Copies of this chain bind each other. A is one copy, B any other.
Amino acid sequence: MQAIPLVETGAAEAFGLGDCEIAQACASHGGEARHTQTVSAWLGKLGLGPDDLECGTHWPMHDETTRAMAAAGETPCPIHNNCSGKHCGFLTTAVHMGEKTKGYVRFEHPVQQRILGVLEAMCGIDLGKAPRGIDGCAIPTIAIPLENMAYGMARFGAPDDLSPGRAAACRRIAAAVAAEPFMVAGSGRYCSEVMAVTGRSVLLKTGAEGVFCAAIPDYGLGVALKCDDGATRAAEVMMSAVLRHIGVLTDDMETKLARRIVMPLENRNGTHVGDVRASDIFTE
């Protein structure tokens, strides 16, 4: 939903963005080479550089990439931040709209106000007085009830009732993430792996603190869940269980995603010592 203004304002088209960039505008990526190369080239299109990203710096989430960088004597820059694609989207919108790019992460900046409006309209909730904090990547993070998030995801996936411009933006974004699921997360990551198998039938995105959201366009359904422990480990397995319960996974998909439905736990010797599995809440 944060990427909707990028497409809706015409910014994405004006800068000739393709599936890779639009998918990255929805990403928490691992900082792998394809991710950072795309962000770097994208910044070039804007006439901007890494220092214009206000997301801060951290070593890539993808461990092998971090070690390869260290081996090559490299250090990370804001491009490696897992949110750098989303931030490129914010910058692109600001540049296209003729807004000052500096401070684009602030709640008061038009970029963030535009996103706030999209969230309110999509989720059907007044967020003017909603509790908010500052995210790890410096943008506002706004408290939205799960049912409203699910409603927003449902409308994102099946946007027929929205205005033509909004609906077209949702469809463009959905097509991009379905076409380039690797750009949304990366190697070995749930979001990329599941969407590579489901194609456009399931669109999903992990969030911080055990949140996970999905849209199932053909069913007109949205899913928003939060694992009470605030961690991704079980949230992923929960999402798989919900998708199975809804019935959107074919037998072939379930076979391919077996380790995402019942997640094996292995110790440091590679011995299988247990599993993370959903309880039978849906089948009992």
Contact = CB atoms under 8 A, between A and B. Distances in A.
Interface of A: 54-59, 63, 66-68, 70-71, 73, 81, 133-138, 228-231, 267-271, 273-274
A273 B138 CA distance: 9
Contacts of A71: 70-71, 73
A87 to B, nearest CB: 11
23 contacts: A55-B269, A56-B270, A59-B63, A59-B67, A66-B70, A67-B67, A68-B70, A71-B73, A81-B268, A133-B273, A134-B271, A134-B274, A135-B267, A135-B273, A136-B273, A137-B267, A137-B268, A138-B268, A138-B269, A228-B228, A229-B230, A229-B231, A230-B231
A39 to B, nearest CB: 15
Given A228-B229, A229-B229, A230-B229, A136 B268 contact: yes
A225 to B, nearest CB: 16
A122 to B, nearest CB: 25
Copies in the complex: 2
Contacts of A81: 268
A71 B66 CA distance: 10
Nearest to A55: B268
Contacts of A57: 268
Contacts of A135: 267, 273
Contacts of A137: 267-268
Contacts of A271: 134, 138
A36 to B, nearest CB: 16
Nearest to A58: B268
A66 B73 CA distance: 13
Nearest to A73: B71
Given A59-B67, A67-B70, 11 more contacts: A54-B269, A58-B268, A67-B67, A68-B70, A71-B73, A81-B268, A134-B273, A136-B268, A136-B273, A138-B267, A230-B231
Contacts of A134: 267, 271, 273-274
Contacts of A136: 267-268, 273
A272 to B, nearest CB: 9
A22 B197 CA distance: 50
A223 to B, nearest CB: 22
A70 B71 CA distance: 5
Nearest to A83: B268
A133 B134 CA distance: 40
A129 B251 CA distance: 40
